[in-house]
C-alpha cells in the first residue's frame, strides 16, 4: 500500500515536468472492432520505388512498405488496396472493418500501402525542405500506380484482376484522384470522407464543429464561446497573463502576442474540440459537454478545468517549442512535419476563425498558418507557394467536379471535413452518400449492431455499389 502510493507520487512528479504538444490524430479513426474473422496474420513487405517518378535521369530508389493479406483470395479475384495517407500503416485495417468484409465477399486480395514520408516509408535520408520536394500527391499516386503494376506482374492469379482502391480522409481524396488519373489501372474507388477541394482558408471546419456541438447542447457551445471571450479579456487585464499561465499550466509564461497567441487558442485549445467532433462516436460530444458543464464556476473556470483534464499532468507548450520540434529534419514516423509540408504546398486546409459562426472569436487567422509554413520550411514558403499549389491541385485533380465514374464518395454530417467533399451525385456512376449524424470515416468499420440505421444502410450501399461495379 505505502510503496504503491510512493510509486504513483513519483510517476506524477516525472510527468509533471513533461511538456506536451498534443496534436490531433490525423486520418481515419483507428478501428476498434475485434479481429473477427482474420485467420492469417497480414504480411509486411516492401517494394522498390523511384525517388522521383518524373525525372528519368534520377535513378535513386527507396523501399516503400506495404501489408498484404490473401486469406480470402481465389485466383482471378479482385485486388483491394487500402491507401495509406498521412499516417503509419498497421495490420488492423486488413484484419477487420469494411474493407476486410468486402474483400471476403469477392474473394479478393487485400493490400495496404504506406504513403511516402509517413510511417517508415522514407524516400530520402531526412526530411530537409530540399528533400521534401519529393513529397507530393503526384509522386504518391505514381507510387500506387507502380505498385498495382508490380503486384499484377508478380503475384500469381492477379494478372487479370480488377482493382479497387479505398481511402479514408486524405487517402480517400487519393482514391478519387487515382481512379481519375489512372482509370486503366484502377476500376473502382471508394472514398470515405475525402476533402477533394483544396483551399487556404478552411473556415467551414469550425462552422461544422460549432453546428454539431450546438445540436447536442447550445449551453455547451455558449459556455465554450464565453470562456474563450473571458480568456481574451483576462489576458489583457492586470496580472491576467501570470494568472492564466498558472491556471492553464503553460510550460512558459503566455505571450499574448502573435504567433504565440494564435498557437494558444488554436493548437492548444480549439484543437481539443476539433478532435472531439472529428472523431465523435454516438455519445462523445454529449459526454464531453456534460463534463465541461459539470465543472463549477463561470464559463472560463469550466473551460480551464476541461482543458486541464485533457492535458493531464502535462504543461501546455508554446509556438517556439512546436516550431523547434517540427523543424527537426530527421526521418521519424511522426506525421506532422510531412503533413504540414503538404498543406503548405498543395492543400492549405487551414482551419481558421474567419467565420463568425464558431465559438473561438477571431483568435487564429489564416496568416498564422502561412507564417508557420515559413517558420518550418523557410522564406520561400508563404502565400505564393500556398496559393499556387492550391490552384494547381484543383486544376490537376478537378476539385469538387472531377470527371469520374465507379467512385463512391461517403461523408458524415458531423465530420467537419465534409465541407470540402463531394456531397451530391456527380453522375449515376459517381454517387455521393451523406450520412446524417456520423463523423470522420465512420463507414470504414464493419457493419455492427450498434450502428445507427443510416450508417448501416450507407455501409450496405457501398457494398452493393462495389459488387455492381466489379460484376
Ligand atoms: C539531409 O540529407 C541531405 C542528403 O539528402 C544531406 O546533404 C543534408 O546534410 C541532410 N541535412 C541534415 C540537416 O541532416
Ligand atoms: C438528422 O438527424 C437528426 C437527429 O437524429 C434529425 O433531427 C434530422 O431531421 C435528420 N436530418 C435529415 C436530413 O434527415
pLDDT at 6 (0 to 100): 36
Residue 47 corresponds to which cell in the numbers above? 517494394
User: 392 — phi, psi (to 5°)?
Assistant: -60, -50
Pocket probe mutation, ligand 1, options 128, 134, 378, max atoms within 8 Å of Cβ: 128
Asked if residue 237 has pLDDT above 70, the reply is: yes
Task: Report residue 215's pLDDT band, with 50, 70 and 90 as the boundaries.
Answer: very high
pLDDT at 16 (0 to 100): 36
436 lines ligand 2 (CB under 6 A): yes
Asked if residue 1 has pLDDT above 60, the reply is: no
Percent of the chain with pLDDT over 90: 91
Query: Average pLDDT of the chain?
Result: 94
In the block, residue with C-alpha cell 459517381: 430
pLDDT tens by residue, 139-177:
999 999 999 999 999 999 999 999 999 999 999 999 999
Range of lowest pLDDT (17-31, 39-53, 428-442): 17-31
pLDDT at 38 (0 to 100): 76
Q: How far is the CA of 302 from the centre of ligand 2 (A)?
A: 30
Q: In the structure, which protein residues have their CB atom closer than 6 angstroms to any atom of ligand 1?
A: 124-126, 128, 131, 329
Q: How crowded is residue 403: how many other Cβ atoms within 10 Å of its Cβ?
A: 10
Pocket probe mutation, ligand 2, options 436, 439, 452, 453, max atoms within 8 Å of Cβ: 436
pLDDT tens by residue, 325-343:
999 999 999 999 999 999 9
User: 45 — phi, psi (to 5°)?
Assistant: -145, 175
Q: How far is the CA of 415 from the centre of ligand 2 (A)?
A: 15
Stretch 51-71: mean pLDDT = 98
Q: Following CA atoms 282, 284, 290, 295 in sequence, which dihedral angle do they give, to the nearest 10 degrees?
A: 180
Q: Please, is 33 exposed, middle or buried when counting C-beta atoms within 10 Å of its C-beta (0-12, 13-18, 19+)?
A: middle
pTM above 0.85, yes or no: yes
Asked if residue 14 has pLDDT above 50, the reply is: no
pLDDT at 32 (0 to 100): 61
Alpha carbon distance 385, 115 (integer Å) = 22
Q: Which ligand is nearest to the CA of 60?
A: 1
Alpha carbon distance 316, 250 (integer Å) = 4
pLDDT at 216 (0 to 100): 98
3-state secondary structure the chain: CHHHHHHHHHHHHHHHCCEECCCCCCCCCCCCCCCCCCCCCCEEEEEEEECCCCCCCCCCEEEEEEEEECCCCCCCCCEEEEECCCCCCCHHHHCCCHHHHHHHHHCCEEEEECCCCCCCCCCCCECCCCHHHHCCHHHHHHHHHHHHHHHHHHCCCCCCCCEEEEEECHHHHHHHHHHHHCCCCCCEEEEECCCCCCEEECCHHHHHHHHHHHHHCHHHHHHHHHHHHHHHHHHHCCCHHHHHHHHHCECCCCCCCCCHHHHHHHHHHHHHHHHHHHCCCCCHHHHHHHHHHHCCCCHHHHHHHHHHHHHCCCEECCHHHHHHHHHCCECCCCCHHHHHHHHHHHHEEECCCCCCCCCCCCCCCHHHHHHHHHHHHCCCCCHHHHHHHHHHHHHHHCCCCCCCCCEEEEEECCCHHHHHCCCCCCECCECEEEECCCCCCHHHCCCCCCCCHHHHHHHHHHHHHHHHHHC
Atom 4 of ligand 2, residue of closest alpha carbon: 437
Stretch 344-367: mean pLDDT = 98
Asked if residue 86 has pLDDT above 60, the reply is: yes
Asked if residue 10 has pLDDT above 60, the reply is: no
Ligand 1 atom index nearest CA of 330: 14
Atom 8 of ligand 2, residue of closest alpha carbon: 436
Asked if residue 12 has pLDDT above 90, the reply is: no
Pocket probe mutation, ligand 1, options 126, 133, 328, 377, max atoms within 8 Å of Cβ: 126
Ligand 1 atom index nearest CA of 131: 5
Alpha carbon distance 236, 317 (integer Å) = 20
pLDDT at 8 (0 to 100): 35
Stretch 257-281: mean pLDDT = 96
Q: How far is the CA of 451 from the centre of ligand 2 (A)?
A: 15
215 lines ligand 2 (CB under 6 A): no
Asked if residue 21 has pLDDT above 70, the reply is: no
Amino acid at each position: 500500500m505505502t510503496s504503491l502510493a510512493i510509486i504513483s507520487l513519483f510517476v506524477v512528479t516525472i510527468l509533471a515536468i513533461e511538456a506536451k504538444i498534443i496534436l490531433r490524430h490525423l486520418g481515419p479513426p483507428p478501428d476498434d472492432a475485434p479481429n473477427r474473422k482474420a485467420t492469417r496474420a497480414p504480411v509486411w513487405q516492401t517494394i522498390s520505388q523511384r525517388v522521383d517518378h518524373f525525372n528519368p535521369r534520377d535513378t535513386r530508389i527507396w523501399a516503400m512498405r506495404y501489408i498484404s493479406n490473401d486469406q480470402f483470395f481465389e485466383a482471378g479475384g479482385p485486388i483491394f488496396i487500402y491507401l495509406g495517407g498521412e499516417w503509419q500503416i498497421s495490420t488492423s485495417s486488413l484484419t477487420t472493418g469494411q474493407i476486410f468484409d468486402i474483400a471476403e465477399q469477392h474473394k479478393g486480395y487485400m493490400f495496404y500501402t504506406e504513403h511516402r514520408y509517413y510511417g517508415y516509408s522514407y524516400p530520402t535520408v531526412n526530411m530537409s525542405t530540399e528533400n521534401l520536394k519529393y513529397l507530393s500527391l503526384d509522386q504518391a499516386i505514381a507510387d500506387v500506380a507502380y505498385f498495382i503494376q508490380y503486384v499484377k506482374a508478380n503475384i500469381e492469379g492477379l494478372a487479370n484482376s480488377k482493382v479497387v482502391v479505398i481511402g479514408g480522409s486524405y487517402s480517400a481524396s487519393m482514391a478519387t484522384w487515382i481512379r481519375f488519373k489512372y482509370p486503366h489501372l484502377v476500376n473502382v474507388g471508394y472514398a470515405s470522407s475525402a476533402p477533394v477541394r483544396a483551399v487556404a482558408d478552411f473556415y467551414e471546419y469550425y462552422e461544422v464543429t460549432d453546428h454539431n456541438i450546438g445540436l447536442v447542447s447550445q449551453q455547451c457551445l455558449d459556455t465554450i464561446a464565453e470562456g474563450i471571450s473571458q480568456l481574451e479579456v483576462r489576458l489583457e487585464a492586470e496580472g491576467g497573463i501570470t494568472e492564466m499561465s498558472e491556471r492553464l499550466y503553460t510550460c512558459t509564461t503566455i505571450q499574448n502576442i502573435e504567433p504565440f497567441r494564435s498557437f494558444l487558442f488554436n493548437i492548444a485549445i480549439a484543437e481539443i474540440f476539433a478532435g472531439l467532433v472529428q472523431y465523435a462516436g454516438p455519445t462523445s460530444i454529449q459526454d464531453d459537454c456534460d463534463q465541461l458543464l459539470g465543472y463549477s464556476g463561470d464559463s472560463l473556470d469550466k473551460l480551464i478545468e476541461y482543458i486541464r483534464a485533457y492535458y493531464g499532468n502535462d504543461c501546455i507548450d508554446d509556438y517556439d517549442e512546436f516550431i523547434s520540434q517540427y523543424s527537426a529534419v530527421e526521418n521519424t514516423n511522426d506525421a506532422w512535419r510531412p503533413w504540414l509540408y503538404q498543406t503548405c504546398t498543395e492543400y492549405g486546409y487551414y482551419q481558421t476563425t474567419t467565420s463568425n459562426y464558431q465559438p473561438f472569436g477571431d483568435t487564429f487567422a489564416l496568416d498564422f498558418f502561412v507564417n508557420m509554413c515559413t517558420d518550418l520550411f523557410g522564406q520561400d514558403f508563404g502565400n505564393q507557394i500556398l496559393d499556387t499549389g492550391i490552384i494547381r491541385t484543383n486544376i490537376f485533380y478537378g476539385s469538387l467536379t472531377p470527371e469520374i465514374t465507379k467512385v463512391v464518395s461517403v461523408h458524415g454530417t458531423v465530420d467537419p471535413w465534409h465541407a470540402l467533399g463531394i456531397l451530391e451525385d456527380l453522375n449515376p456512376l459517381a454517387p455521393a452518400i451523406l450520412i446524417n449524424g456520423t463523423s470522420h470515416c465512420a463507414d470504414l468499420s464493419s457493419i455492427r449492431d450498434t450502428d445507427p440505421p443510416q450508417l448501416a444502410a450507407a455501409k450496405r450501399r457501398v457494398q452493393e455499389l462495389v459488387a455492381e461495379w466489379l460484376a
